[in-house]
Amino acid sequence: MGSRELHPDPARDGGGASDAPHGIVVGVDGSDHGQCALVWAAREAQRRRRPLHIVTAYSVPIFAASGLDGGYATVDDSVIREGAEAILKQALEKISPYDVDVTSSVENGDAAGVLLEISESAELLVVGTRGRGGFVGRLLGSVSSALPAHAKCPTVTVPLFCSNRLGETTEDRRVKAEQAKSGHRQVENVVVVGVDGSDQARVAVLEAADQAERLGASLRVVCAVPQYSGSLAWVPAPMDRKALFDDIRVTLEAGMAWLRSHYPHLEAEYELKDGSPVDVLVEESRHVELVVVGTRGRGGFTGMLLGSTSDGVLHHAKGPVMVVPDREDPRMADRARFGPILGDAA
């Protein structure tokens, strides 16, 4: 069984950059959303054989006084801190069955800032889609929207909707009703990655392929093409759209050939779909292990998949979503040898 330590605020103990967490880092706040993120992160740390660091953050509120001697006053943070430490202890107990090395810390500061700093050294950040609220509950929620766009490492958000697939329960009536309406469908051992031909999408494809190999899963590369709207409504859709799809298929085939050259043993396929990228990827998230997207995409006619779409998927996904930051990868250097790149969907 892995070691488990409680490190409240390493800064108070003289900790420095050398103590920065590595491996898998998960943010918790005691909410059901945080519990789902914790379980997913523990499974991932065990799968990767990497250490797990559990963190919660809080800020001490400052109140403006009124009157002639007005000023600013802060509250004693001891009670808040004790609550944060209790959350960490509960988290440590919950993941005790997993064979992972675990550390934990309570951080005093803005949750988004804390996690962004940690992302400099972490291999992967994991958060729930929203949190408890209140002082200690600042860790999740809006953070899960802001963090993926700025983190230096990939970020996974885990929605409460998939609590049942993680062996968790929830008392959230809206989520329970949605789960009941959706019915039971076995989760496919598939990683789905959304692409649009941008370099950011190609980086996401490589990360998705790595994740599929870790899971022993197959990879599904999905390119969704939305309908023309607004200023593009005048375009003769039947003719132009057919040509667009033909071009995308050519570049998808080239992209898949490039991908298979780097992952010869990975089972991989592509799907070209007509429809809203957000709707397509959200639907995929209901019944696959993971959906992967980049932080932003190409823009323009064929590049509407990522960017704002990644944010839309995060808000509505029914399963875990990984957002991969833009970065350089030497494997992209030989992409041109396999065929067309402009408009390439992988």
55-80 tens-digit pLDDT: 998 776 555 555 555 555 455 677 77
- Integer angstrom CA distances of residue 291 from 112, 113, 184, 220: 23, 25, 19, 9
The residues, any chain, with a CB within 8 Å of residue 229's CB and separated by 6 or more, are none
Identify which has the larger pLDDT, 232 or 48: 48
pLDDT recorded at residue 110: 80
Position 120 pLDDT exceeds 80: yes
**Rounded to whole angstroms, how far apart are CA atoms 60 and 62?**
7
333 DSSP assignment: G
Give the pLDDT of residue 197: 83
More confident residue, 99 or 2: 99
Distance separating alpha carbons of residues 323 and 344, to the nearest angstrom = 20
Other Cβ atoms closer than 10 A to 154: 25
Provide the pLDDT for residue 142.
59
pLDDT grade, residue 154 (50/70/90)? very high
- pLDDT > 80? residue 161: yes
In the prediction, which pLDDT does 301 show?
33
Cα→Cα distances 319→83, 160, 264, Å: 29, 8, 28
> How far is residue 93's CA from residue 99's CA, in Å, rounded to a whole number?
13
Neighbour count for residue 283 (Cβ, 10 Å): 16
Range in 14-18, 176-180, 249-253, 296-300 with the lowest mean pLDDT:
14-18
- Looking at residues 154-182, what average pLDDT do you find? 85
What is the mean pLDDT of the segment spanning 285-292? 96
Rounded to 10 degrees, the C-alpha dihedral 291/294/300/301 comes to -20
Q: Are 33 and 130 in contact (CB under 8 A)?
A: yes
Residue 158's pLDDT band (cuts 50, 70, 90)? very high
Strand 52-58 vs strand 72-74: parallel, antiparallel, or unpaired?
unpaired
- Residue 51: predicted pLDDT: 97
Does residue 111 or residue 251 have the better pLDDT?
Answer: 251
The answer to whether the beta carbons of residues 26 and 139 sit under 8 Å apart is no
Question: Average pLDDT, whole number, for the chain?
Answer: 81
